[in-house]
């Protein structure tokens, strides 16, 4: 059999893909009939496919390629580390330099007293660590009943049994017997969809106070932690009203509930600060990290933990860990990624250059007739599609029908936006330059105009 390479005809690659590869979050039957688009290489913010098309990736892959594609420095860091020490673990009284150096660097970069890192291979694994860690922490403090974790509906925290249970996606809970016990979901701070007649500020407070109500109902002696994404990503880039996080923080402090900020998307420059917690004034006890930690060049994630949590955990033999916790190659890649973010002042670039320009264009999208709200923080943005802006109405079609039409038209115009229900979202590489931003909006605006005609033609609006 001949080798399968980039040089094969697209149809042949698609046929083989359909025959043997099961895609995540996909109905593989319909995809195999249509054929997946084959991505062959990438540079900067552009992907190239097997037909030679240049696609502008306004999603940084899965919100992870923060520094952009094709940085040789990361490839070289991986090769150097692979030659020197490709693998060793840190389970049984051993350690290695990449894990030491990355933990040390993260302790310097993370805010407050978040000075200790437990590594994982991605965000789901890190959130599973968090579930077991907060329950073990309270048990070690003589409070074994303090094990309920409060999360939000429409949150995304990963796809493993534990992390998907933390998540609030009903369609995920419906498959495979989730959620695990002692996870409780309160309502999300999604003003556009659920705010009714309240102002965003009133609504933010009301939704935060659901945390207090839940704690009082269950008893603070049963609640271990609250987990939230500073901005819900996979839930549709839901940016909470300004009143939300300060109230959540107040409640966690008052009732001694550990606060876990899931920074898997919001970390490493995405919001115009190194961490979303800094953007929203959150003081977490534990921070989940992944994605932008290595800009997706190697799979790595982890939990950054406060001095207090680490001190309690230090007295326990925590029966938890992954073969690839602190993987030396992934850690070396992450360190190099962090070096580039700092040396090339990428966070400053987001704050001072890229985000203001994207914001200007993004807010103008409401001039399109079917775009209701347009919201943005740093380089994370969403628009809500609606048949009637004044009432924030939903389309009569199944949720996501209109969103997916728009997404497909964007894709055919060679710009990747993601649809989440009837919201469209972007999270481009944090290195995106002004000319690439202009090109991105040329393609987005063209796509939205074509989408509006298609939606009218199909009688959906």
What dihedral do alpha carbons 397, 402, 404, 408 form, nearest 10°? 140
Q: Which residues bind ligand PMP (CB under 6 A)?
A: 62, 122-124, 127, 156-158, 229, 233-234, 262, 264-265, 290, 301
Instruction: Give whichever of 168 and 233 is closer to ligand PMP, judged by the CB atom.
Output: 233
354: DSSP letter: I
Structure tokens at 40: 């062959």
Compute the distance between CA of residue 399 and CA of residue 421 in angstroms, rounded to an integer.
Answer: 5
Q: Mutual orientation of helices 434-457 and 355-364 as an angle, nearest 10°? A: 20
C-alpha 142/C-alpha 162 separation (Å) is 24
Residue 368: CB minimum distance to ligand PMP, A: 27
Q: Which residues contact 322 (CB under 8 A, 6 or more apart)?
A: 119, 120, 121, 125
Whole-number minimum distance, CB 46 to ligand PMP, in Å? 22
**Cα first-last separation, the chain:** 51
Q: CA torsion angle for 350, 356, 361, 367 (degrees, to 10)?
A: 130
State in angstroms the smallest separation of the CB of 159 from ligand PMP.
6
Nearest-approach distance from CB 430 to ligand PMP, in angstroms: 16
Nearer to ligand PMP, 301 or 428 (CB): 301
For residue 335, the minimal CB distance to ligand PMP (Å) is 19
Phi then psi for residue 278, to 5 deg, are -70, -35
Closest CA to 129 of 315, 302, 328, 275: 302
Question: In terms of CB distance, is 35 or 400 closer to ligand PMP?
Answer: 400
| Nearest CB to ligand PMP, comparing residues 130 and 306 | 130
**272 or 301: whose CB is closer to ligand PMP?**
301
Sign, CA dihedral 396-397-400-405, equals negative
Q: How far is the CB of 76 from ligand PMP (least distance, A)?
A: 24
What is the helix (H) or strand (E) element at residue 333, kind and residue range? helix 328-343
Q: Which is nearer to ligand PMP, 233 or 428 (CB)?
A: 233
Give yes or no for a contact between 208 and 228, defined as CB atoms under 8 angstroms apart. Answer: no
Query: For ligand PMP, which is the closer residue by CB, 212 or 262?
Result: 262
Q: Which of residues 379 and 451 has its CB atom nearest to ligand PMP in the complex? A: 379
Q: At what angle do helices 244-255 and 200-218 cross, to 10 degrees?
A: 20
Question: Closest separation between CB of residue 265 and ligand PMP, Å?
Answer: 5
Separation between Cα atoms, residue 270 and residue 227, nearest integer Å: 19
Least distance CB 424 / ligand PMP (angstroms): 17
Take residue 272 and report the two structure tokens written for it.
């115009």
Supply the minimum distance, in Å, between the C-beta of residue 345 and ligand PMP. 25
Beta carbon nearer to ligand PMP, 251 or 380: 380
């Amino acid at each position: 059999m001949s080798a399968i390479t980039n040089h094969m005809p697209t149809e042949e690659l698609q046929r083989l893909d359909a025959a043997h590869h099961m895609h995540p979050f996909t109905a593989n039957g319909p995809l195999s009939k249509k054929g997946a688009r084959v991505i062959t290489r990438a540079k900067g913010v552009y992907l190239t496919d097997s037909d030679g098309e240049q696609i502008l990736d306004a999603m940084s892959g899965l919100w992870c390629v923060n520094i952009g594609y094709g940085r040789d420095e990361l490839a070289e860091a991986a090769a150097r580390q692979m030659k020197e020490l490709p693998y060793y673990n840190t389970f049984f009284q051993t350690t290695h330099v990449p894990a030491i150096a990355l933990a040390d660097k993260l302790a310097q970069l993370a805010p407050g007293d978040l000075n200790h890192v437990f590594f994982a291979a991605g965000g789901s694994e890190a959130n599973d660590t968090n579930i077991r860690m907060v329950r073990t922490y309270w048990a070690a403090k003589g409070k074994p009943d303090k094990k309920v974790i409060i999360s939000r509906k429409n949150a995304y925290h990963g796809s493993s049994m534990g992390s998907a249970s933390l998540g609030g996606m009903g369609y995920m809970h419906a498959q495979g017997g989730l959620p695990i016990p002692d996870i409780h979901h309160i309502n999300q701070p999604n003003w556009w969809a659920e705010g009714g007649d309240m102002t965003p500020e009133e609504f933010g407070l009301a939704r935060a106070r659901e945390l207090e109500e839940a704690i009082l109902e269950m008893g603070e002696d049963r609640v271990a932690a609250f987990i939230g994404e500073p901005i819900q990503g996979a839930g549709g880039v839901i940016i909470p009203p300004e009143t939300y996080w300060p109230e959540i923080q107040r409640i966690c402090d008052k009732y001694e509930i550990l606060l876990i900020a899931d920074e898997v998307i919001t970390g490493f420059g995405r919001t115009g600060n190194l961490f979303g917690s800094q953007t929203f004034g959150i003081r977490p006890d534990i921070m989940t990290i992944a994605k932008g930690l290595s800009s997706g060049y190697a799979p790595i994630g982890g939990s950054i933990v406060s001095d207090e949590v680490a001190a309690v955990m230090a007295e326990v033999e925590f029966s938890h860990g992954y073969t690839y916790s602190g993987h030396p190659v992934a850690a070396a890649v992450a360190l190099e990624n962090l070096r580039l973010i700092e040396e090339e002042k990428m966070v400053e670039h987001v704050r001072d250059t890229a985000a203001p320009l994207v914001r200007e264009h993004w807010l103008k999208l409401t001039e399109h007739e079917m775009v209701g709200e347009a919201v943005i923080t740093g380089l994370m943005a969403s628009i809500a599609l609606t048949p009637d802006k004044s009432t924030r109405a939903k389309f009569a079609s199944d949720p996501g029908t209109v969103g997916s039409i728009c997404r497909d038209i964007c894709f055919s115009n060679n710009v990747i936006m993601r649809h989440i229900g009837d919201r469209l979202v972007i999270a481009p590489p944090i290195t995106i330059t002004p000319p690439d931003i202009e090109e991105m909006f040329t393609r987005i605006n063209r796509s939205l105009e074509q989408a509006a005609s298609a939606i009218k033609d199909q009688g959906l609006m």
